[in-house]
Amino acid sequence: MKILAVNAGSSSLKFTLIELPSQETIASGLFEKIGIGNSMYTIKFKGEKYTKELDLKDHAVAVQVLMDELINMHIISSLEEIEGIGHRIVHGGQEFKESIVLTEDVLKKIENYNELAPLHNPANIMGVRAFMKVLPHVTNVGVFDTAFHSSMEPKEYLYPVPYEWYQQYGVRKYGFHGTSHRYVNKTICEYLKNPNLKVISCHIGNGGSITAINAGKVVDTTMGFTPLAGIMMGTRSGDIDASLIEYVMHKTGESITEVTNDLNKRSGLLGISGISSDSRDIEEAIKSGNEKARLAQEMYVQKIANYIAMYNNLLDGADVIVLTAGVGENSIMTRKMIGEKIASLGVVIDEEANNCRGELKLISAAESKIPVYVVPTNEELMIALDTMALIEK
Ligand code: AMP
């Protein structure tokens, strides 16, 4: 069965064509600058990368071009081969606790949550409608970033603010990266043959979040009402004192939107180092003696370590710590430093085992009280698996 996993942005469309149950990635690619001029697309197939510039006036045109290319490039021989399309949808509010078959009625309900993710949800939904238009007979499935976190209890998801903000406006912690955390949790539980593990899942990429999971249920997660909360990230501040917003507005004359934008786009590793949000650049700068890069990295690691320690307490002792996403899968330096900062939990990273990238691997030493694993994430595969499961239901 061939399933397309799709992630639509406001001017982009990312896709991966996956064969199931073999889980083989057949092709993948990205359409960029849709509707804003100078559009282009890239399709990767059999180790080759094919790039073309073409005016794409909207997502439906991009989807039509994608279908034509899949046939022209002999990736599929007929559109009938695509049996399902799984869409990443960022926000499902409190209503969507698991993946769902998308109909026009369901899309209208999801649109109720556009206000909670104004940059993402409308774009995700636009992507779904484009596929519905071009492939009207294929099942579309929505997979929500928030859904995995819906098992949190009120004592974890409520903020200590006036209760009516929650009742009237839905102000609460929702959490994000749920599809990634669910995938790595499923992978480690299968690998260790234990579905009841207490897992601290650390998704550390450009965005980052840490989730405490007990027997497949999320107990708590670091991102909040929006993805701005929690650990320090590439360009996001993570947790801050909310009062600084008003203060900075007064000092700089910036609007609340501008300050919020600074917290999302000009903070984190980039804000402190002044160099880059990319941990590879930070590592290079540290090696050449840049003090601000070192400070940024130390803050970054400390905040991750603090949450791991907090979640170890919350879980009453974790069975396993998992590192994933761009930094978690690849940064040997960051993993080593995190290990050193959680030594009080009895964690010991094995230097030789840690010398790895992008593979499922135990990186802690035999004496480590909590084993630490690198588990490569695969949100696209999780989306495809959910889509297949709903089609076969
Ligand atoms: P993601 O958002 O999961 O794609 O992660 C992106 C981040 O992963 C980049 O900003 C890099 O900082 C980081 N990354 C990717 N490869 C490496 C690497 N080889 N070493 C260190 N960091 C890496």
Q: What is the pLDDT of residues 266-296, one digit of tens each?
A: 999 999 999 999 999 999 999 999 999 999 9
Can you tell me whether residue 387 is helix, strand or coil? helix
Structurally, how many domains does the chain consist of?
2
Residue 41 sits in which domain range?
2-144
% of the chain surpassing 70 pLDDT: 100
Q: How far is the CA of 279 from the centre of ligand 1 (A)?
A: 6
Residues 373 and 238 in one domain: yes
| Best residue among 279, 282, 356, 380 to mutate for probing ligand 1, ranked by most atoms within 8 Å of CB | 279
- Exactly one of 58, 68, 105, 145 is catalytic; which is it? 145
Residues 37 and 133 in one domain: yes
Asked whether residue 192 carries a pLDDT value surpassing 90, the answer given is yes
Can you tell me whether residue 97 is helix, strand or coil? coil
Atom of ligand 1 nearest to the CA of 333: 21
Q: How far is the CA of 389 from the centre of ligand 1 (A)?
A: 31
Tens digit of each residue's pLDDT (9 = 90 or more) over 46-105: 999 999 999 999 999 999 999 999 999 999 999 999 999 999 999 999 999 999 999 999
Q: How far is the CA of 81 from the centre of ligand 1 (A)?
A: 34
Two structure tokens written together for 171:
């102000």
| Best residue among 323, 324, 331, 333 to mutate for probing ligand 1, ranked by most atoms within 8 Å of CB | 331
Q: How far is the CA of 325 from the centre of ligand 1 (A)?
A: 7
> Could you tell me if residue 152 is inside a domain?
no
> Could you tell me if residue 186 is inside a domain?
no
Residue 279 beta carbon below 6 angstroms from any ligand 1 atom: yes
Tens digit of each residue's pLDDT (9 = 90 or more) over 172-181: 999 999 999 9
Q: How far is the CA of 254 from the centre of ligand 1 (A)?
A: 31
CATH number of the domain that residue 245 is part of: 3.30.420.40
> Could you tell me if residue 168 is inside a domain?
no
Residues 35 and 125 in one domain: yes
* Average pLDDT of the residues of the chain: 97
Q: Determine which residue's CA is closest to atom 19 belonging to ligand 1.
A: 330
Residues 369 and 233 in one domain: yes
Atom of ligand 1 nearest to the CA of 204: 3
Whether 145 is catalytic is yes
Q: Of the candidates 107, 124, 144, which is a domain's last residue?
A: 144
Residues 206 and 126 in one domain: no
Q: What is the structure's pLDDT at 119?
A: 87
Residues 197 and 345 in one domain: yes
> Could you tell me if residue 204 is inside a domain?
yes
**253-279 exposure pattern, b = at least 16 Cβ within 10 A, e = fewer:** eeeeeebeebbbeebbbbbbbebbbbb
Residue 327 beta carbon below 6 angstroms from any ligand 1 atom: yes
* Mean pLDDT in residue range 215-225: 98
Can you tell me whether residue 39 is helix, strand or coil? coil
**Phi and psi angles of residue 13, each rounded to the nearest 5 degrees, phi first:** -150, 115
Asked whether residue 370 carries a pLDDT value surpassing 90, the answer given is yes
